[in-house]
Chain A
């Protein structure tokens, strides 16, 4: 079955640690996205990539980094520079500007 997966589902991190969230898709989509969702709020774009080896900052990129070495994979690193990283992180993919398919999400908690 084609789809988009994220791991882990829950992640706990100590302050000052970097952590990497995984996102993999087998839909053969060129575009991939990372969003952050806080309670009661909408989705805010962190980074997006339209093609392998290229990515752009979204609206809230500070404290985050990404890579796009393979079409299928778009990992997100939450660095210690991110002041308030506790949130629900969603990865998505799409063909061009069509519908975005979302992964199940990773809930990150900083202890």
Chain B
């Protein structure tokens, strides 16, 4: 089942912060975060594993709440280069098909000068 991302879109001024959420109705083993620029391939940001620690990529960090089956992506002091569509991809706990991800519908982030 597809995870639900919120918000669907967010507009920021350079230097502002944003949070993107990804929620699943099923128990998760891991959550992946990717960013996609228009017309390009998605680029990996980070993986959150069940029982793992909060991850960080430059000024972008993420957390995974196992009880709520929810992950949040935190973008701090946003830069113009952060603009793009952010996708979470979830892998179910207890599955035998490791590597199989189900992606959310995406969150469009626009950063203005």
Interface residues of A (CB under 8 A from B): 31, 33, 35, 40-45, 48, 50, 56, 58-59, 90, 94, 96-105
Contacts and interface: CB of A to CB of B under 8 A. Distances in A.
Contacts of B44: 99-101
Contacts of A105: 40-41
29 contacts: A31-B99, A41-B105, A41-B106, A42-B104, A42-B105, A42-B106, A43-B87, A43-B103, A45-B101, A48-B100, A56-B100, A58-B100, A59-B102, A90-B41, A90-B42, A94-B99, A96-B98, A96-B99, A97-B98, A99-B32, A99-B47, A100-B32, A100-B34, A100-B44, A102-B41, A102-B42, A104-B41, A105-B40, A105-B41
A104 B101 contact: no
Contacts of B101: 45, 100
B104 to A, nearest CB: 6
B105 A45 contact: no
Interface string B88-99: 010100000111
B99 A48 contact: yes
Contacts of A45: 100-102
B17 to A, nearest CB: 24
A29 to B, nearest CB: 10
B6 interface: no
A43 B42 contact: yes
A50 B105 CA distance: 25
Given A35-B103, A56-B100, A105-B40, 4 more contacts: A42-B87, A43-B42, A43-B87, A45-B100
B61 interface: no
